Chains A and B, each alone.
Chain A
Amino acid sequence: MPDDADSSAAPAGPDDLAPRPLTAFERLVAQLGRVFAGRIPEADLDERDPDYIRDLLPTLWLISSLWFRGEVRGLEHIPAEGPVLLVGNHSGGNLTPDTGVFTVAFSSYFGVERRFHQLAHNLVLSAPGLGFLRRMGTVAASHENARRALEGGAAVLVYPGGDYEVHRPSWETDRIDFDRRTGFLRLALSLGVPLVPVVSVGGQETSVFLSRGEGLSRALGLDRFLRLKVLPVSISIPWVINVGDVLPRVPLPAKITIEVLEPLDLEAQFGPDPDLDVVYDHVVGLMQATLDRLQAERRLPLLG
């Protein structure tokens, strides 16, 4: 689950001033958090393997083309070379089908040789069976990793909304919600790289998302020890009621449409030290207008 570049800070303690002893359950969750933390691989940008991606691409293309009937527009807006920060809205729960569709389109368009990294939640990279993502270029979401990748000339895909946005309820499908996270803006401004918004629609129709489960996550201490601010509840195949969205599931075959907008030069447009809230509203406003248009094009759920 790709995440915002600035959301990788160590789990902050609760804002209670007088710490209380942990309950047995909280100790268990904390232990689990340490186990996962130990599994999080050191970010090694060299783990990306173009030959591996070339081998895997046809299979991903099949899923993208036949199951999700993916359509990606405007790839020509992405600068043909050099570092670029791609900023997307995120949908579809932990399966993140929009990331797959976009990765296939990007790597086909620019070739697998062009360095392309996606930032992902730590839990994704430490989960068993998902090690192949690292060879695809996925690295843990952190400012440091994003900065290193961009300084190395790579295209970097971030989803500022992260787990907060990807598990939004189905009735908020047509909303872009980055939870006012601005790390991606600071990153683009500090490195002077172009920011290219990437807007997708359809991913949130691959399940029926009922709730982010933020209260549930807080109550269980997952936000403190696993960096999980949500514990989503959805209806999905074959589990019917799916809590946490960590078990394998079959996504509904919703058509996914993605549109790449023109690059933004934030420094040229807003100056070297702008009010980030103003820039945030501008970028999210552009993306929301595009999402509204893409949503209006859809005539039927799933079919698009």
Chain B
Amino acid sequence: MRIRESIDVGAPAAAVWDVITDPVQLLYVLHNSTLWEPVDEPGGGIGARYRTRMRVGSAEVGGLVEIVEWDPGRDLAWTSVTGVDQRGRWRLRERVPGRTHVELRFAGGVAGAGLGGWLAEQVAARFIGDNTRRSVVLLKQYVELTERRRAAEARRARAS
């Protein structure tokens, strides 16, 4: 399955990057994700590993993933080491200052054999597609709210 969802966020790419590279904040925006936990030191970078889980239908699926691309403010990609076979990518492009085009891509497969495996993959794609769609919307809302708060704090600081 290949899933791709995008959205324009009214914030600089750096602000979006801060959220998607922070395991705590990331769980706020990844819809139906129940775990995104660094295995070793938090901090990211190529080679960093995370334990992940996402609710898909009646099960929580996931496994260990490893960061394979880490281009701050632009690209973050991972691939599975154990568990569900998957590749994912956050792609950020700040086309005009203060406005970022965000794309979340997911590619993966279901391990099962035969017709059941094929059917399961089609159904799982609907669930994961819905999770992905909601995640980019949540990301936009979260980042823009955070940016508005920062701006308001800055205004208050200047006024006082």
Q: Which residues of A contact B (CB under 8 A)?
A: 54-59, 61-62, 64-66, 68-72, 75, 101, 104-105, 108-109, 111
Given contacts A55-B117, A59-B120, A111-B83, 7 further A-B contacts (CB under 8 A): A55-B112, A57-B112, A61-B120, A64-B58, A65-B59, A70-B59, A104-B59
- Contact indicator B60/A105 (Cβ below 8 Å): yes
- Contact indicator B112/A56 (Cβ below 8 Å): yes
- Contact indicator A65/B111 (Cβ below 8 Å): no
Picked from B58, B112, B123, the residue with its CB within 8 Å of the CB of A101 is B58
- Contact indicator B63/A61 (Cβ below 8 Å): no
Alpha-carbon separation in the docked complex, A55 to B120 (Å): 11
Q: Which residues in chain B, 102-129, are within 8 Å of chain A measured between CB atoms?
A: 110-114, 116-117, 119-121, 123-124, 127
Q: Which residues of the other chain, A, contact B116 by a CB distance below 8 angstroms?
A: 56, 58-59, 62
Chain B interface residue number, banded: 20 to 34
Query: Does B61 reach chain A (CB closer than 8 Å)?
Result: yes
Alpha-carbon separation in the docked complex, A70 to B56 (Å): 11
- Contact indicator B123/A62 (Cβ below 8 Å): yes
Q: List 9 A-B contacts (CB under 8 A).
A: A56-B116, A58-B111, A61-B59, A62-B116, A64-B57, A65-B58, A104-B59, A109-B53, A109-B60
Q: Which residues of the other chain, B, contact A57 by a CB distance below 8 angstroms?
A: 111-112
In the complex, what residue of chain B is closest to A52 when comparing beta carbons? B113
Q: Which residues of B contact A (CB under 8 A)?
A: 53, 56-61, 63, 82-83, 110-114, 116-117, 119-121, 123-124, 127
Picked from B58, B60, B112, B127, the residue with its CB within 8 Å of the CB of A68 is B58
- Contact indicator B111/A105 (Cβ below 8 Å): no
- Contact indicator A64/B120 (Cβ below 8 Å): no
Q: Which residues of the other chain, A, contact B60 by a CB distance below 8 angstroms?
A: 72, 75, 105, 108-109
Q: Which residues of the other chain, B, contact A59 by a CB distance below 8 angstroms?
A: 112, 114, 116-117, 119-120
